[in-house]
Structure 1
């Protein structure tokens, strides 16, 4: 396949600042041999190369170097969340920001449904009983009799909703626009009706972006609205939950338990009580990372780079006013 060359002038310079930089570089050079590729492997080289970059491919935007990004026209974030640019959202309007939206939904749905099943059956207790060689039969209601509440029905939340519906669960969810139905969702709620969603759900999954409106979205007041038999799942961002209040309410038995993949501080400090709580599953921010993550991101970036060189609209453009 023949790919377009730059329209005029010197070659486009792409700066990569990512743990998979070597892989991205190889893929770019193979498909677009006429572009210039720079890899920032440390803070010093990032500082040096930022002035040359037309395009930045990175998991985070280096806001402290924004004034050096004089040539930058496009930032492709290798994550779905672009919260790193929000502090300069009012200054970055001249730069197109795109993200990796669309590649995380199915793998995160795998994670969520696996976690929901583990918590519903209380496999943690089975594991403890196995370690003690204790034989304790019990009965469990079908998951199809339970309600899954998804807070945030973007591409990830919608995928989780469809997966929950596919195993027979009643699915409810919240989103800003409730004028159009969402596949797999039995009832839609606006963000203002979060309290009702919490009260009706057996499993609450947080799938909202990190924006000012979602910071500390779930705290003591919201947890106390939930059923004592309910479980909380967070695959959004740690800032969405007031962590100290969650710990207090878990210890008090306000809710049955939690599956947490993201935290206020990452890595989670060794002295954090969440590590050893019997009703909590802690995972190290892995839910959205399939084994072929780099290839999936490059499918988006490669198409966007082709569009960029042809001066066509890019896909996955982020609305910086909304933050996603």
Structure 2
């Protein structure tokens, strides 16, 4: 860094929830003042000094962020910012950036693995194996199936590319349909959701949680889907009306579901989703590769250099839209 950049960084205080990103920041930016906190008490004691915060809405609840008097930039450690949006909207001139680019490959891996498991009915194979039963059955090629991706941001686009790579016909919804998306055979606007549901064998939810997407999928939408189709949710639990999904799965309205997110997390022990034979439950892990901290830091470090040099940041969130 030049001396002017170094002096600029001297004036910046970064508060990080956790130790790994803080350690990497100190190594990359030795002139920077980096504070690290592990619990709410230490966050509250240091947040007033922070110009920059790195964390999530869970890390920085409203009562903590309300004390951030110097805060100019919030770097979210996740792609979604729904948990911090209400508080961030109360802080004037605040820039918010997300971790777009960290999750795409990992979530696409998870989705395609899950699609393969549901398509081949691996839960049934495993049950038959436990009983030492041998039952052969024909299964059509997955390339004959249609994948519908609801929301084609960086994560949805990565899923679409993987589906196309598997030979699937890919449909997708996006607010702006003027620009083609790689791997998507047919691009639909948000009001084309009903058509996508009717045509897809696998429906993947990859939208941000905003007012327009809260309970986007409920009884009415599920009944538009084919009885042989599957729902995959890697967005947010509240994108789906969970009680209605349970009832429709029990009724056989759709063939099954792969769920990585839920209205309440951890998923309560008394939820019927745990034991339903046509449901695969995962503990919100699809977007967390083993090198998550390193990936996140590279996004943050590039933006931190821009921040110090007073250049425009990348991955900036439009707080009026919520993504």
TM interval, short-chain normalised: over 0.9
Which residue of structure 1 aligns with residue 65 of structure 2? Answer: 66
How many angstroms does 1:23 deviate by?
Answer: 1.0
Separation in structure 2 between the aligned mates of residue 310 and residue 87 of structure 1, nearest angstrom:
29
Separation in structure 2 between the aligned mates of residue 141 and residue 169 of structure 1, nearest angstrom:
12
- Secondary structure of the residue aligned to 2:66 is helix
- Secondary structure of the residue aligned to 1:232 is strand
CA contact (8 A) 2:149 2:170 kept: yes
Separation in structure 1 between the aligned mates of residue 298 and residue 22 of structure 2, nearest angstrom:
13
Which residue of structure 2 aligns with residue 6 of structure 1? Answer: 7
Which residue of structure 1 aligns with residue 235 of structure 2? Answer: 236
CA contact (8 A) 2:56 2:84 kept: no
- Secondary structure of the residue aligned to 1:259 is strand
How many residues get paired? 320
Cα deviation code 1:115-134 (max 9, x no counterpart): 00000000110000000000
Which residue of structure 2 aligns with residue 15 of structure 1? Answer: 15
Which residue of structure 2 aligns with residue 28 of structure 1? Answer: 25
Q: 2:36 aligns with which of 30, 35, 39?
A: 39
Is residue 94 from structure 1 mapped to residue 93 from structure 2 by the alignment? Answer: yes
Cα deviation code 1:163-182 (max 9, x no counterpart): 00001000001010111111
| RMSD after superposition | 1.4
Cα deviation code 1:181-210 (max 9, x no counterpart): 111101111111111100000000000001
Which residue of structure 2 aligns with residue 272 of structure 1? Answer: 271
Separation in structure 2 between the aligned mates of residue 24 and residue 34 of structure 1, nearest angstrom:
16
Q: Report which stretch shifted further, 85-94 or 37-46.
A: 85-94
Which residue of structure 1 aligns with residue 45 of structure 2? Answer: 48
How many angstroms does 1:67 deviate by?
Answer: 3.0
CA contact (8 A) 2:148 2:197 kept: yes
- Secondary structure of the residue aligned to 2:180 is coil
Relative to the length of structure 1, the TM-score reads 0.96
CA contact (8 A) 1:63 1:84 kept: no
Cα deviation code 1:216-247 (max 9, x no counterpart): 00000000000000000000000000000000
Unaligned runs of 5+ in 2: none
Unaligned runs of 5+ in 1: none
Q: Report which stretch shifted further, 253-262 or 62-71.
A: 62-71
Separation in structure 2 between the aligned mates of residue 90 and residue 162 of structure 1, nearest angstrom:
34
Separation in structure 2 between the aligned mates of residue 168 and residue 13 of structure 1, nearest angstrom:
49
Q: Report which stretch shifted further, 259-268 or 29-38.
A: 29-38
CA contact (8 A) 2:12 2:51 kept: yes
